[in-house]
Amino acid sequence: MSNPYSEPQPNESTTHEPGAYPGPSYQAPPPGRGKRLTRSRTDKMLGGVCGGVAAYLDVDATIVRLLMVAAIIFTGGAALLLYIAGWLLMPYE
């Protein structure tokens, strides 16, 4: 039985070019297949920003709205700028 922590012996399956990474290859997913942060058309109160963030994070929109209201109160309104920026920059779904 061989030691699983020992270095592999060079043979045809483990030889590689100097400087090349011998590990498994990774292929990135094709573009346009991941989640996108978008405003919600259906789950919205004002601009759909909180509904879109909730859909992106896979949580209830009410939780995101309550957190946003708390953030606006505790930051003295600075979080409102974040909401407005999301409203302007986030595309509709």
Domain spans of the chain, in order of start = 49-89
Q: For residue 24, what pLDDT is reported? A: 60
> DSSP 3-state assignment of 62?
helix
Q: For residue 80, what pLDDT is reported? A: 93
- Report whether 79 contacts 68 (CB < 8 A): yes
Buried b (16+ CB within 10 A) or exposed e, 73-86: eeeeeebeeebeeb
**Per-residue pLDDT at 73 exceeds 70:** yes
Q: What is the pTM of this model?
A: 0.61
What are 36-61's pLDDT values in tens digits? 888 888 888 889 999 999 999 999 99
Least confident of 24-28, 33-37, 39-43, 70-74: 24-28
Q: Which of 67, 45, 56, 61 is nearest to 90 (CA)?
A: 56
